[in-house]
Chains A and B, each alone.
Chain A
């Protein structure tokens, strides 16, 4: 039968079924199991950039968003070791940028913050970098705050013009890398695409011009329940 669950695998010892070709992440979700993600976004090809979805298969660390399920695969997911690793990744993202939740308009809707809460991060185990980064408010529709960018590439992968060209690109390399609006395509950022850019950003790095804090505390995405509670 087409599209049937025809592969058997296990997550943390529980036997599950998946369609052939599924990633570990998709298969886990279909079976009601939470695996954290940051760079992954439904509807666009996975990237495996942030490593927050790391799971263990045969003792080896793999990203759940890019690894396909195989028959009989035994996946370790919700273990103290892996959760500590994920927490460490979240902490690294915090220290690498300047994430000041108290004054950030994404607070309460931010996936990075929500994961930090889920993994009970208090103070990062690593020293803060305090990088010198700027706010770029030169575009009439959005404000880019590089202090908050985690380089997940969601905007690059999701926001495209009618010819399929990425409006956002990476500029520079290594620690100097930052998201950049392709000057030739800047005019293609319609209101709809600008809204999409804001929506796909998991943190507060891309924000709409001229508004903030419109959602009252208590009504924000993660005010009521931690991230992943829907699974």
Chain B
């Protein structure tokens, strides 16, 4: 009997989405889709606003990583006020922004690994649903310390954001052409030598421990992590001029599944020459692609997995060592194993911790020159690597300083096609030929989506008993049974 399986909403991701899976009379998956069912409209309602409002306004897209939008918009506005494309800021402004960004990267990655993903790994994909959350982690004797560690890592990152942006969520530190504050020596010292555990050294140690935890799990579940939702794809990210992993600024690079460079050393001000966006009728989320390869073959992944595929090295010692181990696992070839995204994310967490320490020890961070400027431009593009992948902000302003066009391509949008493919693959693997669709089967689909850490609308998500509705239809789309969890 043909069935339509609906998973709505997809849980432990940021925002709301749903999955539909159609099975034919023989129980084979004939179509699966990840639908993004909400619409935000920021690109439209920012029109007419003065350009200097953009970094503060557009960050309201998200409560998890608003700093990404704040900084991407500020970078675009740097271009508009004539402060250059990533090279025109004062050393203090550039480093304060980087510190803000790495603080965010650290807290967001910690949130994803400890709060959202680790319950699946530690308790198992088929564990009872009421157990698969961070509260259960905190309640268990075995993982209590780990849960606390996750919470404290987030706190450290959030405190860094507060010190640089003014508030933990939705601050206003980055302004067109610079920043509005530097750190006081007292603020800086607190992060380096303050009370335990909220010190930069401790964060580096904990990030290393998190990688060990993952590797321990990997050793015991090698087959699952190597094969679950694995498929080849192109990868895209910013990389530093020298090929280094750089999450704040760089040039666009894209590689194919074999590691061959499709794009390299591209100035992102010209992204429109290289990236197109396709609209499909069943989702509010667009499907970006590399124009050179076309809609069919040009889709790509972004995020931790993609970044560690595109970069040549990591410029901090501990993360570089972890990176070498990671790269060796795939013999230096691009990693296409979806579940290895967690590994890549933890290496980036370590990298972020090392970057924070390095920046905190830099004298410029307490410097005085905050602003730069130059000849005004009518248009600007700001890109950075957000926790979930490459984030594009593009604005055009009129002669009266009002925004007349905004185009935002958020990280999750780039991963639209890969997430849809991941859903399809897992659905085939889990559901083909099954008489009944069980909750663990549906969670497996969610696990594949969750690996991308999607920010479907950029909203926080409640922990606990998520509503989940599964409907069974016959081949004439008549509803046979509906189960609501």
Contact = CB atoms under 8 A, between A and B. Distances in A.
Given A103-B56, A134-B48, A207-B50, A217 B400 contact: no
Contacts of B50: 135, 137, 143, 207, 212
Nearest to B402: A137
A105 B166 CA distance: 14
A76 to B, nearest CB: 39
Which applies to chain B's interface (DSSP): helix, strand, loop or mixed? loop
A214 interface: yes
B79 to A, nearest CB: 15
Given A216-B173, A217-B167, A143 B56 contact: no
A209 B56 CA distance: 16
Contacts of B175: 211-214
A213 B56 contact: yes
A211 B52 contact: yes
Interface in A28-55: none
A137 B400 CA distance: 5
A105 B52 contact: yes
A81 interface: no
Interface string B53-69: 10111001000000000
A138 interface: yes
Contacts, number: 56
Interface in A107-153: 134-135, 137-138, 143
B48 A216 contact: no
A83 B172 CA distance: 32
Given A103-B57, A135-B402, A137-B402, A217 B52 contact: no
A218 interface: yes
A14 B57 CA distance: 47
B49 interface: yes
Contact of B60 (A103, A138, A216): A103
A213 B48 contact: no
B404 to A, nearest CB: 11
A210 interface: yes
A215 interface: yes
Interface string B276-306: 0000000000000000000000000000000
A102 interface: yes
Contact-size category for B: 20 to 34
Nearest to B172: A213
A134 B400 CA distance: 13
A143 B53 CA distance: 12
B450 interface: no
B458 to A, nearest CB: 14
B180 interface: yes
Interface string A215-226: 111100000000
A81 to B, nearest CB: 35
- Among B52, B57, B175, B401: residue with most chain A CB under 10 A: B52
A209 B399 CA distance: 12
Contacts of B401: 137, 143, 209-210
B181 interface: yes
B170 interface: yes
B171 interface: yes
Contacts of A213: 52, 55-56, 172, 175, 180
Contacts of A214: 175, 180
A215 B181 CA distance: 8
A138 B402 CA distance: 10
Interface string B330-351: 0000000000000000000000
A214 B60 CA distance: 19
A215 B57 contact: no
Nearest to B376: A210
Contacts of B49: 103, 135
A212 B401 CA distance: 12
Interface in A175-231: 207, 209-218
A216 B100 CA distance: 14
B160 to A, nearest CB: 15
Contacts of B181: 216
Contact of B180 (A102, A103, A137, A215): A215
Contacts of B81: 210
Interface string B388-422: 00000000000011100000000000000000000
Interface in B128-174: 165-167, 170-173
A105 B53 contact: yes
Nearest to A100: B57
A228 to B, nearest CB: 24
A224 to B, nearest CB: 13
Contacts of A135: 48-50, 402
- Among A102, A138, A207, A213: residue with most chain B CB under 10 A: A213
Contacts of B402: 135, 137
Given A102-B60, A105-B53, A212-B53, A217 B48 contact: no
A39 B165 CA distance: 32
A216 B172 contact: yes
A215 B49 CA distance: 20
A221 to B, nearest CB: 14
21 contacts: A102-B57, A102-B170, A103-B53, A103-B56, A103-B60, A105-B53, A135-B402, A137-B50, A137-B402, A138-B400, A207-B50, A210-B52, A210-B81, A211-B52, A212-B50, A212-B56, A216-B172, A216-B180, A217-B166, A217-B172, A218-B166
What are the 9 closest A-B residue pairs judged by CB atoms, nearest first?
A: A217-B166, A103-B57, A137-B400, A216-B181, A212-B52, A213-B172, A216-B180, A213-B175, A216-B166
